């Protein structure tokens, strides 16, 4: 399937790294409104540049546009693509305002086009292994989830030195103004809504805990947020995002018969640990060494498949396959089906993420308006 990329910044290099694993995807060309960035990217990756976004949209070979622009540009870029008859894979979120995300989904539906959104890590071997464990009843009825996405004090890190292989600096100002929850909550939320279906109701607290991030005239978004989520199926989850609390990317799912845990939500091949409930559970949880010495501690579960990618996320060896979602969408277009993450599911996640990041706009307590049909086990890509 022929596709084109709009936005040749920091993350576009990660997509290019991953593209080699997807021979079914043919990159027709790329576009960036920054001419220097466009030139550096096309030279580095030896790919063609379009003369303008209009030229890209006029290319009838292109069926799918990957929108890798900054979040506040997502709406305009995706809308133009849909109006030109292209299917859209959007980096997260679909849009930075809920009514605009809704407009995109309705526009796609009216035109018979598909739109979906990153992240696509729900297609990872780790996520699918957790789904299978839940589906197989390994922890009995799941009831409570603790999900963390703390990235450490990013403002105090040497982020000016984070430069992608084609020379794009990590967009610190944009990241700090858009907010870490809008950037990151979707990773946990796509998994949780895959496993448990839609969120019914949520509460959120969000705040700027560190106003001075060392950049002049910054308008920082909340850099800390915690949401409590009540799923229709009865599961309760607490999700925290920050770029201040020390690094913690754990996901823990507690059920009547055991616990599933991972340490690295951003790693497609992160080991999955399963603890089955037994009479020593409380001792193992209190004294992990006891669990290790007795062999009663959490066990590493074999993943459903050998992970295609895994690791610490060094350049050239992504821990994530950024193109898996584009490939999934391309397959849906080709077969006349729906992508794993439907537009309505992406809209649901966008609503939850926006409400978590901005309770001042969407309410401290919110009944989620945009629902979706939960995946059935047979629709799951495992």
CA distances from 279 to 140, 257, 276, 285 (A): 16, 11, 10, 12
Binding range to ligand NAD, per CB under 6 A, among 70-78, 124-132, 194-202, 255-263: 70-78
| Least distance from ligand NAD to the Cβ atom of residue 326, Å | 13
Question: What is the gyration radius of the CA atoms in the chain, in angstroms?
Answer: 21
Interface stretch with ligand NAD, choices 33-41, 235-243, 263-271, 299-307 (CB under 6 A): 33-41
User: Measured from the CB of residue 175, what is the shortest distance to ligand NAD in angstroms?
Assistant: 7
Smallest gap from residue 90 Cβ to ligand NAD (A): 8
Residue 139 or 343: the one with the smaller Cβ distance to ligand NAD is 343
- C-beta closer to ligand NAD: residue 157 or 228: 157
Told to check if 70 binds ligand NAD by CB under 6 A, we report yes
The yes or no reply on residue 10 touching ligand NAD (CB under 6 A) is yes
261 binds ligand NAD (CB under 6 A): no
129 to 148: interface string for ligand NAD, x by CB under 6 A: --------------------
Q: Rounded to the nearest whole angstrom, what is the least distance from the CB of residue 318 to ligand NAD in the complex? A: 10
Cβ atoms < 10 Å from Cβ of 279: 7
> Counting beta carbons within 10 angstroms of the beta carbon of residue 216, is it exposed (0 to 12), middle (13 to 18) or buried (19 or more)?
exposed
Nearest to 307 by CA among 247, 382, 379: 382
| Least distance CB 31 / ligand NAD (angstroms) | 6
The residue from 1, 5, 7, 262 that contacts ligand NAD (CB under 6 A) is 7
Q: Closer to ligand NAD at the Cβ: 81 or 368?
A: 81
Is 122 a residue that touches ligand NAD (CB under 6 A)? no
77 binds ligand NAD (CB under 6 A): yes
Choose the binding region for ligand NAD from 56-64, 65-73, 126-134, 186-194 (rule: CB under 6 A). 65-73
Which residue has tokens 């966008």?
350
Residue 276 and residue 257 in contact, taking contact as beta carbons nearer than 8 Å: yes
CB atoms near residue 155 (< 10 Å):
20
For 7, the 3-state DSSP assignment is coil
If the CB atoms of residues 75 and 362 are measured against ligand NAD, the closer one turns out to be 75
Q: By CB under 6 A, which span of 10-18, 125-133, 134-142, 297-305 interacts with ligand NAD?
A: 10-18
Out of 64, 101, 168, 353, the residue judged to bind ligand NAD by CB under 6 A: 168
Q: What gap in Å lies between CA 27 and CA 76, rounded to an integer?
A: 22
Minimum separation from the CB atom of position 294 to ligand NAD (A)? 41
Minimal CB distance residue for ligand NAD: 9
d(CA 196, CA 374): 8
Task: Return the DSSP state at 50.
Answer: P
Distance in angstroms (rounded) separating the CA atoms of residues 63 and 133: 37
253 touches ligand NAD by CB under 6 A: no
Choose between 213 and 235: whose C-beta lies nearer to ligand NAD.
Answer: 213
Distance CA 284, CA 310 (A): 29
Nearer to ligand NAD by Cβ, of 174 and 248: the residue is 174
Helix ranges (H only) for the chain are 10-19, 35-45, 53-58, 74-83, 98-111, 125-135, 172-178, 180-196, 281-286, 288-294, 324-335, 343-357, 359-362
Question: Is residue 303 within 8 Å of residue 37, measured between CB atoms?
Answer: no
Number of residues that bind ligand NAD (CB under 6 A): 26
Q: How far is CA 378 from CA 139, 188, 306, 333, 340, in A?
A: 20, 22, 20, 19, 11
Is 264 near ligand NAD (CB under 6 A)? Answer: no
Region near ligand NAD per CB under 6 A, out of 64-72, 241-249, 279-287, 370-378: 64-72
Write out the H or E segment, with its range, that includes residue 201: strand 199-207
d(CA 11, CA 382): 27
Give residues in contact with ligand NAD (CB under 6 A): 6-12, 31-34, 37, 53, 68-71, 73, 77, 91-92, 168, 170-171, 174, 183
């Amino acid at each position: 399937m022929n596709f084109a990329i709009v936005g040749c910044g920091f993350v576009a290099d990660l997509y290019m790294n991953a593209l080699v694993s997807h021979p079914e995807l043919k990159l027709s060309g790329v576009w960036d409104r920054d001419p220097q960035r466009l030139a550096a990217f096309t030279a580095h990756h030896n790919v063609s540049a379009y003369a303008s976004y209009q030229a890209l949209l006029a290319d009838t070979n292109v069926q799918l546009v990957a929108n890798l622009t900054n979040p506040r540009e997502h709406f305009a870029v995706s809308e133009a693509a849909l109006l030109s008859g292209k299917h859209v894979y959007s980096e997260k979120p679909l849009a930075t305002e809920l009514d605009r995300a809704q407009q995109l989904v309705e526009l796609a539906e009216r035109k018979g086009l598909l739109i979906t959104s990153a992240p696509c890590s729900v297609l990872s071997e780790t996520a699918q292994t957790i789904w299978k464990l839940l589906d197989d009843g390994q922890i009995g009825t799941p009831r409570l989830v603790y999900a963390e996405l703390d990235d450490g004090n990013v403002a105090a890190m040497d982020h000016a030195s984070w430069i992608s292989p084609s020379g794009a600096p990590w967009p610190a100002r944009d990241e700090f103004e858009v907010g870490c929850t809008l950037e990151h909550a979707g990773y946990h939320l796509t998994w949780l809504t895959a496993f448990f279906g839609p969120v019914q109701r949520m509460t959120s607290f969000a705040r700027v805990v560190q106003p001075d991030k060392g950049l002049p005239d910054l308008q920082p978004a909340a850099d800390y947020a915690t949401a409590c989520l009540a799923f229709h199926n009865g599961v309760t989850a607490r999700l925290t995002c920050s770029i201040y609390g020390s690094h913690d990317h754990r996901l823990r799912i507690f059920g009547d018969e055991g616990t599933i845990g991972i340490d690295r939500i951003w790693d497609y091949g992160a080991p999955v640990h399963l603890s089955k409930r037994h009479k020593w559970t409380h001792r193992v949880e209190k004294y992990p060494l006891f669990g290790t010495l007795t062999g009663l501690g959490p066990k590493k579960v074999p993943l459903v498949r050998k992970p295609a990618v895994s690791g610490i996320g060094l350049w050239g060896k992504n821990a994530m396959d950024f193109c898996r979602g584009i490939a999934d969408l391309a397959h849906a277009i080709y077969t006349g089906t729906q992508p794993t993450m439907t537009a309505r599911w992406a809209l649901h996640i966008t609503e939850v993420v926006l409400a978590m990041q901005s309770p001042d706009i969407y309410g401290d307590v919110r009944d989620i308006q945009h629902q979706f049909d939960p995946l059935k086990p047979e629709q799951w890509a495992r």
